[in-house]
Structure 1
C-alpha cells in the first residue's frame, strides 16, 4: 500500500547550484514566470558552493512570489548527490532536473513537463540537435553514452541528459536508494523502461566555465561504470583468459624453436615486453576489484549520500498552495 503523501504541486524543478551566483537569479526569474496548472515549486540545492550562491539563493527565497525552497548541503557532494537531495525534498507530481548554467532554456520546461504527463512516461530525457559544449566534452559524452548502452541496459540511441522530467512513481523509487555513490541515470534504468525522448534547444554557456573538470568527469564515469554492472569484472576475466592463451601459445613457440634450432633464442626483449604487459593487466584488474571493494566498504560503513545543513522555504512553499 502506498503511504506517500499527495503531491502539493503539479511540478517541481530541482536545480543543483554550484558557482551559480550570477546565473541563478536569471534562471529563477524565468522559471517563476511559467504558468503551471496546479502549481510550480523550485528547489535550489546549494552544493556547498565556494562563491556567494547561498546568499543569492536566500535573497531569492525571501523576495520571490513563486514557491521556492533552498536545500543547503553541509559540504560539496557532487551533482548527482545534490540532485538526490533535491528529489527527496521536492513535492511535485512531476519533477524536472536542470543545471544552473542557463544552457537549457527555461522556456522548454513546460513542453518537457507536458510531454511527460500527456505521454504517460515515467521519465523523458531531452536531447539536442547540437550541443554547445567544448569538443572534448562532446566526445566524452558520446563515449559515456556508448558505454551506458552496454552497462546500464539503456535503450540504444537514448541520450542521458541532466535535463529530464520524472513522474512521482519514479521519484519515490529513485529516492529509496541511499548509497554514497548515486548515479541517477543508472537508477532510472534499473527501475523503468517507460522512457520518452524530446528534442530541445541547447544554448551556449552564458558565462564562466563548466564546473566539471576531468577528475570530476572521471569520478562520475566510475559511478556509472562500476555501480550498476559486473560487466567490467567479466571483461577482466575474458582478458585474463585471452592473455593466458597467448602465454600458452608463446610457450609452445619457444619450446619448438628450442628443439629444432641449434641456437637457443635469446628473447630477452620479448620476455620483458610480455612480463610488463601481464603485470600491467594484473594491476589494472587489481585496481578494478579494489574499487568495487572500496565502494562496498564505504556503503557498509554508511558513508552519507548527503547531509543537509538546513532547509529554507518561503511563505508560498510552506503553504503549498497552487499558484
Structure 2
C-alpha cells in the first residue's frame, strides 16, 4: 500500500482526513454494500461517510438510518425533504463534510470502493485542489455516454475548464474547494462550474468503471437537459451573446433582402409571392422567439434566485449517538 507523505499535518482525529459524500436516490439495494466496503479502507487520517438521501421513494431512508448505527466508520446521514437533484444533494453533503478532503461518488457501485483510496492519495500527494477521474471504458448505456460527451463539449465552451478534461461525478476536492463551493446558495447548482470558479489546480486519474449492480440509471433525458441548462444559464453569458449574433445575422439577411426588393422594384417588376413572404416572416419570428426565450430563461432564474428558491431543504440530520436534528 502506498504511504501517505503529507505536505502538512492532517486535521485532528475529530476531523477526519477524508469525507466520502454520497447522494442517495433509490439506492436501498446498493448503499449498504458500498458503505461496508468503504468502511474497510485503511485511509491515513481517518474516514467519514456523508449520506444524503435526496427524497428517495424506496427504502433508502430506513437503510441509511440502520447504517448509522452499525457501520465501523462515522456516518452522517442527511435526509432531504424532497427530491432536489444530484448536484443539490452533493452541495448539502459538502456542507456537512468535516474532512480535509472530500470525495463525491454515486451510490450504484459503478465506482469500485477501492479506487477511493487511490483517488485520495493522488489528490493529496500531488498537491491538487481537485482530481477528476476518467474511465478507460464507461459502462453506462450508449445514450448516457453520448449525453455525457455532449455535456463535456458544452462545458468546454461555457466554463473555464482545461480543454478535454472529463467532468466526472467521481472526484476528490480539497478543503479550499469545499469551502468555496459551499458558499453558493442559489437554487441551480452545477458543482463542476463552481469548482472551476475556485481553482485551476486540477489533476486526473484513470480508474475502473463497473456495470451497474442493481436497477437502471436514475438519470433520464429530462434530468440531463436540466443539467445542461444549469450549466448554460448559470455559469456563462454565451447564450445571450449567441442571441445577439443571431439577431445581427437575421438583420443582415433582412438588409440584403430589402436591397434586393428595392432594386427589383426600381429596375424590374415588383416582387410577388405569398410563399416567399411567409418564409421570411416565419424566419424572423423564429429568431425573435429564440432570443426572447434565452432572455426569459435568464430572467426566470434571476427571479427564482431573488425569491430564494431553496437549493435543498434538510428534513433531519442523524449521527451515531446523536438524536435526530431537524434543520
TM-score (normalised: structure 1): 0.94
**Distance between the aligned counterparts of 2:215 and 2:276, measured in 1?**
51
* Higher RCO (CA < 8 A, seq sep 6+): 1
Aligned match of 1:320: none
Aligned partners of 1:7 and 1:92 also within 8 Å: no
Aligned match of 2:225: 218
**Distance between the aligned counterparts of 1:286 and 1:137, measured in 2?**
30
Alignment deviations for residues 253-295 of structure 1 (CA, whole Å, 9 cap, x no partner): 1222222324x33232122112112111211211111111111
How far apart are 1:71 and its partner, in Å? 0.5
How far apart are 1:205 and its partner, in Å? 1.1
Aligned match of 1:252: 259
Query: Structure 1 residues 5, 216: CA separation in 2 closer, same or farther (over 3 Å shift)?
Result: farther
Query: Structure 1 residues 303, 6: CA separation in 2 closer, same or farther (over 3 Å shift)?
Result: farther
Choose the corresponding residue for 1:286, options 288, 292, 300. Answer: 292
Alignment deviations for residues 125-150 of structure 1 (CA, whole Å, 9 cap, x no partner): 00111211111111111111111111
- Does residue 242 of the first structure (1) align with residue 249 of the second (2)? yes
Aligned partners of 1:12 and 1:43 also within 8 Å: yes
Aligned match of 1:71: 78
Aligned match of 1:321: none
Query: What are structure 1's unaligned runs of at least 5 residues?
Result: 317-323
- Does residue 83 of the first structure (1) align with residue 95 of the second (2)? no
Aligned match of 1:121: 128
Aligned match of 1:152: 159
Aligned partners of 1:148 and 1:224 also within 8 Å: yes
* SS at 2:100 equivalent: strand
- Between stretches 69-78 and 307-316, larger displacement belongs to 307-316
Residues 76-225 of structure 1: pairs in structure 2 closer than 5 A: 76-225=83-232
TM-score (normalised: structure 2): 0.92
Alignment deviations for residues 192-240 of structure 1 (CA, whole Å, 9 cap, x no partner): 1011111111111112111111111111111000101111101110110
**Distance between the aligned counterparts of 1:250 and 1:137, measured in 2?**
43
Query: What are structure 2's unaligned runs of at least 5 residues?
Result: 1-10, 323-327
Aligned match of 1:40: 47
Runs of 4+ aligned residues of structure 1 deviating over 3 Å after TM superposition are 4-7
Query: Structure 1 residues 166, 7: CA separation in 2 closer, same or farther (over 3 Å shift)?
Result: farther
